[in-house]
C-alpha cells in the first residue's frame, strides 16, 4: 500500500494539489493499480510467443483504379477540366481562403 507521502510526491510531480480526502482516495486507487501490475509481473511468460495483435486482421489495400459505374458518367481528365476557370496542368487552382482573396 502506498504511503501518504508517496501519493503527495506523485501529485507534486504531476503538479496536482490534493485535499486530504483526495490523498486517501488516490492512495487506495494507485495502490490497487500497482497491485495489478505486480500480478502481471508475476505471470510466467517465458514460453509464450510475443504477439503484436491477435485478431489475424491485416490491412487490405487495393490499387486505385478508375471504374465506370452504370449510374455515373465517366469523363476524361480533359473533360473534367474543361469547365474550370483556372487550371495548372491537370490541377484545378482555387482562390486562397485564408490570408485574403487576392491570391490564387
Mean pLDDT of the chain: 86
pTM for the whole thing? 0.44
Examine residue 97 and state whether it is found in any structural domain, yes or no. Answer: no
Structural domain span for residue 9: 4-42
Which CATH number does the domain housing residue 32 bear?
1.10.20
The total of structural domains in the chain comes to 1
- Please list, residue by residue across 56-91, b when 16 or more beta carbons sit within 10 angstroms of its beta carbon and e when fewer do: eeeeeeeeeeeeeeeeeeeeeeeeeeeeeeeeeeee
- Asked, for residue 32, whether it belongs to a domain, the answer is yes
Condensed to tens digits (0 to 9), the pLDDT of residues 75-93 reads: 778 888 888 888 888 888 8
**Is residue 81 assigned to a domain?**
no
Q: Does any domain span residue 75? A: no
Residue bearing cell 508475476: 42
Amino acid at each position: 500500500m502506498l504511503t501518504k507521502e508517496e501519493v503527495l510526491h506523485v501529485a507534486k510531480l504531476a503538479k496536482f494539489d490534493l485535499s486530504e480526502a483526495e490523498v486517501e482516495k488516490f492512495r487506495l486507487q494507485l495502490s490497487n493499480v500497482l497491485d495489478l501490475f505486480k500480478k502481471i509481473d508475476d505471470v510466467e511468460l517465458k514460453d509464450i510467443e510475443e504477439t503484436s495483435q491477435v485478431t489475424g486482421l491485416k490491412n487490405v489495400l487495393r490499387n486505385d483504379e478508375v471504374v465506370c459505374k452504370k449510374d455515373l458518367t465517366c469523363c476524361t481528365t480533359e473533360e473534367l477540366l474543361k469547365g474550370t476557370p483556372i487550371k495548372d496542368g491537370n490541377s484545378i487552382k482555387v482562390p486562397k481562403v485564408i490570408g485574403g482573396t487576392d491570391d490564387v
